[in-house]
């Protein structure tokens, strides 16, 4: 009896389910909307223009509802490079110069040694020579005096030797490779039309005279890791406005920035101990110089004729101030001398100096130190009046006479000469 009842229940349930499926005919698959039917709404899609090396496509029309393309789109072939003076007018790519002369280094590398038969107006030195050797060196004086407006050095080149591009008086475009490690002495000397230079990160020394007489150079981007700026490296770069020194710099050579007449600001990194003679001589626009606590010596005429300087705070660690270190800084109004100096020499003639801080450690003031300071009105001294009276002041031939009638402030820590 129980099995008969269960069977009947199952049959009734089946009829009910079947009945539900048939009865709700609106859910039957045959009555679903046809997804292939769409009232297209056309929208224009712009094409992609071809480049020198990649294909492009024409514009086309698609449906904004279903995304279906309503017309075919033609593929546009790559245009190829259009070289003029060895530079593509479309993308700026340099074409590798042909006919340059190379000499093997005997180890699978070679050195560019001459222009050879190459007649390109702009030179692109390839990464690999026609003989299949890697180009790593640009030889000594290789392009000296050549009338070439542009030079591109391919990655892989590591060394630019002495005078390689000197006296190239038409050079305006220069690309240095990321692989570069060394710039030789006078490498770009007298490139009078060159306006900017970016030195790659691998270079740790800029050799002496490297950019001497690049009179139109406005910007020099110096790399992290640079340690030394050689003697006269940027001398007579009259229009150089900016050359920020990276923190890695440890030596600024003799006359390194001499007569950089447009240079406005210079921060000397910590770690530099000596500013050598004439390093910033005649930097007429230099308004601010920040000296590091590591500094120990300021050389002869280091800041001579920096007429725009108004204030200099010399760190306490400086033990040696050479003669005329700040000579003819006619705009200088205040000067803070370091605590470790014991003898004041004639470090300069200050036509606008109003205040000077003399540390308590000074025991002697030599002949002529304050003889050409007509506007000096106040001396801030780090010690007492009794200690000041013990300082030996050379007054021979009325030298340093101004110190007799000057306003003195004693026990001053330098804050009175901001």
What share of the chain has pLDDT > 70, as a percent?
A: 90
User: Which structure tokens are listed for 69?
Assistant: 């393309």
Banded model confidence at residue 380, pLDDT cuts 50, 70, 90: very high
Domains of the chain in start order, with CATH, are: 42-80 (no CATH), 181-331 (3.80.10.10), 333-418 (no CATH)
Q: What pLDDT score does 130 carry?
A: 95
Asked whether the predicted pLDDT for residue 209 surpasses 90, the reply is yes
Question: What single string gives the DSSP state of each residue in 8-23?
Answer: HHHHHHHHHHHHHHHH
Q: Which residue has the higher pLDDT, 222 or 31?
A: 222
Q: What pLDDT score does 15 carry?
A: 35
Banded model confidence at residue 270, pLDDT cuts 50, 70, 90: very high
Q: For residue 265, give the nearest of 288, 281, 282 by alpha carbon.
A: 288
Q: What pLDDT score does 14 carry?
A: 41
Separation between Cα atoms, residue 179 and residue 112, nearest integer Å: 16
Asked whether the predicted pLDDT for residue 415 surpasses 80, the reply is no
pLDDT digits (tens, 9 = 90+) for 128-176: 999 999 999 999 999 999 999 999 999 999 999 999 999 999 999 999 9
Cβ atoms of 353 and 336 within 8 Å: the answer is no
Q: Which residue has the higher pLDDT, 82 or 406?
A: 406
Question: What single string gives the DSSP state of each residue in 33-73?
Answer: --TT-----EEEE--B---SSS-EE--EEEETTT--BSS--
Q: What pLDDT score does 151 carry?
A: 96
Banded model confidence at residue 326, pLDDT cuts 50, 70, 90: very high
Cβ atoms of 160 and 135 within 8 Å: the answer is no
User: Which structure tokens are listed for 65?
Assistant: 């509802």
Distances (CA, A) of 122 to 91, 218, 298: 16, 22, 44
**Cα-trace Rg, the chain:** 38
Q: What pLDDT score does 42 carry?
A: 86
User: Which structure tokens are listed for 354?
Assistant: 């109003």
Asked whether the predicted pLDDT for residue 1 surpasses 80, the reply is no
Q: Out of 87-96, 138-147, 339-348, 404-413, which region has the weakest mean confidence (pLDDT)?
A: 87-96
What's the mean pLDDT in 254-274? 97
Asked whether the predicted pLDDT for residue 56 surpasses 60, the reply is yes
DSSP structure class, residue 107 = S
Please report, to the nearest 10 degrees, the dihedral formed by the alpha carbons of residues 230, 234, 235, 237 taken in order.
180
Distances (CA, A) of 149 to 1, 155, 307: 110, 20, 36
Q: What pLDDT score does 36 carry?
A: 59
Q: For residue 320, give the nearest of 303, 296, 300 by alpha carbon.
A: 296
pLDDT digits (tens, 9 = 90+) for 18-35: 333 333 444 444 444 454
Cβ atoms of 365 and 344 within 8 Å: the answer is yes
Strand partners, 173: 150
């Amino acid at each position: 009896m129980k099995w008969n009842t269960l069977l009947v229940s199952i049959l009734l349930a089946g009829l009910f389910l079947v009945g539900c499926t048939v009865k709700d005919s609106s859910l039957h698959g045959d009555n679903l909307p046809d997804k292939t039917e769409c009232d297209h709404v056309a929208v224009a899609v712009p094409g992609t223009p071809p480049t020198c090396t990649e294909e492009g496509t024409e514009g086309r029309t698609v449906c904004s509802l279903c995304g279906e393309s309503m017309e075919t789109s033609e593929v546009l072939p790559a245009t190829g490079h259009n070289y003029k003076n060895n530079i593509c007018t479309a993308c700026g790519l340099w074409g590798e110069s042909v006919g340059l002369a190379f000499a093997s280094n005997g180890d699978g590398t070679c050195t560019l040694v001459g222009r050879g038969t190459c007649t390109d107006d702009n030179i692109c030195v390839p990464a690999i020579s026609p003989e299949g050797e890697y180009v790593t060196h640009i030889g000594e004086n290789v392009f000296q005096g050549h009338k070439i407006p542009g030079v591109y050095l391919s990655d892989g080149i590591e060394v630019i030797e002495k005078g390689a591009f000197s006296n190239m008086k038409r050079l305006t475009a220069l690309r240095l490779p990321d692989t570069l490690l060394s710039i030789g002495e006078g490498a770009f000397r007298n490139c009078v039309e060159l306006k900017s230079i970016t030195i790659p990160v691998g270079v740790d020394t800029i050799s002496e005279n490297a950019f001497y007489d690049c009179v139109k150079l406005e910007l020099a981007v110096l790399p992290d890791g640079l340690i030394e700026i050689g003697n006269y490296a940027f001398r007579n770069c009259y229009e150089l406005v900016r050359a920020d020194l990276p923190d890695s710099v440890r030596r600024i050579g003799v006359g390194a920035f001499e007569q950089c007449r447009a240079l406005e600001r210079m921060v000397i990194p910590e770690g530099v101990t000596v500013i050598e003679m004439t390093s910033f001589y005649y930097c007429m626009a230099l308004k601010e110089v920040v000296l590091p606590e590591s500094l120990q010596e300021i050389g002869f005429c280091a800041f001579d004729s920096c007429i725009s300087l108004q204030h200099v705070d010399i760190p306490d660690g400086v033990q040696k101030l050479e003669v005329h270190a700040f000579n003819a800084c006619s705009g200088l109004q205040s000067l803070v001398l370091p605590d470790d100096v014991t003898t004041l020499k004639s470090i300069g003639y200050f036509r606008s100096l109003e205040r000077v801080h003399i540390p308590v450690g000074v025991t002697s003031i030599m002949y002529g130190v304050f003889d050409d300071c007509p506007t000096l009105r106040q001396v801030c001294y780090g010690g007492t009046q009794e200690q000041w009276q013990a300082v030996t002041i050379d007054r021979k031939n009325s030298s340093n006479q101004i110190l007799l009638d000057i306003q003195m402030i004693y026990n001053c820590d330098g804050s009175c000469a901001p």
